[in-house]
Amino acid sequence: MVKPSLEPFTVFLDLESGHLDPAGLAVERRLVDMEGMYQQEEVADGDQLVYRVYMVPVPEQNSEISCSTTILEPGLVGEEYFMTKGHFHQVRDRSEVYIGLSGYGLLVMATEDGGDVTQPIERGSMNYVPGGWAHRTVNVGDTPLVFFAAYVGDAGHDYTTIERSGFPVAVLRGEDGPRVVPNPKYRR
């Protein structure tokens, strides 16, 4: 017999704005928190908000499913679109599902040996991120990119590998829309 460790609960998710009720724990990242991640080193206003993550609090263990919403603001650093830091899961084989709620973005995924895949994220998209793939979202629209994420509770986050290596590709504004180009700062 498995003794339940949690009581069931319900959270209401605003499918447009991504806000949770009751409010989840929020993580805020500003340009100053992303030093060295964009092609352009200098930023005009480091205090500028790039994204917020609202998390549904559950224990970070294998038996649970962690859920969060991310609200990624529109904006540019030079010609590079606002993006999340991106990470591998600390436990590398842990997978994740994203459901797009509003706005337009790209989900950039990469393996440790330098493979990369970029896919669209928008209202109604369901992106499956298998274990072993680092993931970063990029807002290529002019409204906030909002998505819901669900992942294995003990996945954890390894930001260090991305801080050191970067992603193999960068997403830049082009004359005909976003361009996915090799990242000159990538160090495998």
Tell me, residue by residue from 93 to 122, as one string, x for binding to Zn ion by CB under 5 A and - for no binding: ---x--------------------------
Could you tell me which stretch among 22-30, 88-96, 97-105, 140-148 binds Zn ion (CB under 5 A)?
A: 88-96
- For residue 101, the tally of other CB atoms under 10 A from its CB is 24
Question: Using CB distances below 5 to 8 A depending on partner kind, what does residue 118 bind out of ligand S6P, Zn ion, none?
Answer: none
- For residue 123, the tally of other CB atoms under 10 A from its CB is 14
Region label for 112, one of left (φ > 0), alpha (ψ between -120 and 50) or beta (otherwise): alpha
Q: Read off the tokens for 20.
A: 């949770």
The Cβ-side half-sphere exposure at 74, using a 13 Å CA radius, reads: 10
Beta-bridge partners for 76:
81
Question: Using CB distances below 5 to 8 A depending on partner kind, what does residue 19 bind out of Zn ion, ligand S6P, none?
Answer: none
| Closest CB to ligand S6P among residues 157, 173 | 157
Binders in 100-129 for ligand S6P, by CB under 6 A: none
DSSP per residue over 21-79, as a string?
A: ESPPEEEEEEGGGGTT-SS----S-TT-EEEEEEEE---SSTTSEEEEEEEEPP-EETT
| Closest CB to ligand S6P among residues 79, 158 | 158
Could you tell me which stretch among 12-20, 35-43, 56-64, 79-87 binds ligand S6P (CB under 6 A)?
A: 79-87
Is 151 an interacting residue with respect to ligand S6P (CB under 6 A)? Answer: yes
Total residues at the site for ligand S6P (CB under 6 A)? 13
**CA 35 – CA 8 distance, rounded (Å):** 40
The binding site for Zn ion (CB under 5 A) comprises: 96
The binding site for ligand S6P (CB under 6 A) comprises: 53, 68, 70, 84-87, 96, 135, 137, 149, 151, 157
